[in-house]
Structure 1
Amino acid sequence: MTYPQTTVPVRYARWDGVGRPFTLVSSSTSLVPERGALLVRVDLATLCGSDLHTVEGRRPSPVPALLGHEQVGTVVGVGEGGVRCMDGTPVVPGMRVVWSVTSSCGACERCLRKLPHKCLRLRKYGHEPLHENAPLTGGFATHCVVLPGTAVVAVPRDLPDEVASPASCATATAAAAVSAAGPLDGRRVLVTGAGMLGLTAIAMAATAGARVVAVDPNPARRDQALVFGAADAVDGSGAPAAADAAMDFSGQSAAVQHCIDALDVGGRAVLVGSVSPGASVALDPERVVRGLHTVVGVHNYCPEDLATAVRFLAAHHRTFPFADLVGHTYALDCMEEAITAGRRGEAPRQAVAPGLL
């Protein structure tokens, strides 16, 4: 007599703290997860800047941990009660998906205020303490358990893994920033920081009809900004040109100041990169009042932003070379090499293919 398979073998790269190597761990997990959850095979994960900051000790994190929160995968198990994509489509085994960086309860004060990405019971993939009995909470593993309360979006078949993987963080966050900047058709838009998020926001804003000026001290990044739709790219050494909207992805105080100083009447500054303490910037209250300025912060994103990210990539990945932003692909047991390449900045993203041996 034969019995159906109930568990699957898994492997994950355990991060054991600053200055210590990753440990490759082999285990197994239930093929059918808890009610309302998914078991997804991770096909590709990309190395985000926050992963690098964690490994370098520049960002607080539980130890040990399973890092990684930008990934694309294939569903292999669906919990009781089922799960639906953002558009209402039932999730089924074999479906290719991306999922949000957070899971939310849906019932707390913040969720009810339409701030699920700041849920009082928030769980965040790649940022959770590692529990050996339930370790699959990050992307640097062969599988991930996608928890109830997580936004899930199906990925079109023709969207390459290296383009889809960053949707869960970089692309969705850029979509949230562009949304916060307001209607952009015919507007003058300033983008400071032409890394992965900045380049994505430039492409989105340009596609929306904006005239985009990119600011980055790196000449190679300025060249990339032009390829991704910027009308001009400068090093930021001069006085900022007037802008209707300004978005900062660098997190550098000088760049934030550049954005605020650039705002024309009715302008909006959207700050995204300032996720760690930095030097203060000057804010003239009179100029804000008389100029009708708005300054808004974007951290994480709403589920709708993930759906927007996938739609944008599906529609425009042949127009803008998103695939070229991902460098080499490493096996799961080569995390150290991937981290080293990420530190060198050889490309905005490095990739890890957990199934690669």
Structure 2
Amino acid sequence: TALRTLRDAQVRASIGLRQSVLVRGGTGMGKSALMVGFRQLELSRDAAVCWLPTTRLSVLEPYGVARQLLGWHFGHEGDRAALRGLQQTLDMTALDDERQELLEQALGVSDVEDISRLTQNGEAVELVARLLHRLIERESRQRTLLLLIDDLQWLDEPSFKVLSGLQARLPINTAFMLVASHHGREVLPVKLHWDQQITLGKLDAGQSARLLSQLARRYQIHLSPRLRNQIVERCDGVPLYLQEICRRLDMDRREGRSVQFNELPKGLLGLLTSRIDQLEADRDVAHVAAVLGRRFRLGMLGEACALDKGRLHKALEHMRQLEIIESVEIGGGEPEYQFSHQLLHEAAYLSGPKDVRVALHQQVVTL
């Protein structure tokens, strides 16, 4: 039903009726899964899809939405020449030197001396919003443009102001659609307008049982009626928890351990942390990777861990087998990895002692 709602909104956007849709729901309710499913569906059509997954660290990048949208448009990390070329292509009025420098600083193509001044500058927000407005109007003339922001709550404050400015500026007859997910626990710093809101709640017992049957087939595990009822009751309608429990039972079976359902942690974060604990001697590599962020480069991880290549690759392979991380497909260059779920990144980060985390942060900053 939720996916159909998104598809209906996309159809309205494709005929030139601007749309904004918010997906809400608690942790593990399937917000990211819905967004990814919708994204995959639209990538197979003739829509332009700009995908912006965020993490807790996104709040540290001012004007992150604008920077990532421009990077997506350029196909690479933009620079000053690319930005000025885009301004000419969009037939924008030339700015004086001071305002041009302010725009370039906001978009990360020029060095910033006072970051706090930049984030509080209303004129910078106005300049960025005006540029994105012209870019979106131009892109959406050729095909429908979809901007998907997963975990809206982690955006920096200037990005919220830019999104609000875009909603005020963009004409209603624009083939543009904004879709964002939000866990709903915190009030956003800027009020945004939403044409529709989708709320993902807990599954009922029947839905949980059907999902459990699908997961059992996927992982090829046999569940007795008693164990099925225990799992459905324990998971309390949270789909991600159902998946994680089935994944854990599958791993126990593959590694020859007896299934001890009652020993599994009752909370979702506890279950994910227990997967990190399964790394045993390789846990320290996961802790370092988590400090680097949800996505990390192999070289930087090696520098931060100070391990020989053989030991590092063995640890990464162990993490990959436990489905804690996955490789990121990039065209050439240094290999990159990412935690397979934002909550796994969080579990790896929080499972290390606080004094160790502090030391790791200092080490990473020094590097």
Same fold (TM over 0.5): no
Larger Rg: 2
TM superposition score normalised by structure 2: 0.21
Structure with bigger strand share is 1
Give TM-score, length-normalised by structure 1: 0.21
Considering Cα pairs closer than 8 Å and 6+ residues apart, tell me whether 1 or 2 has the greater RCO: 2
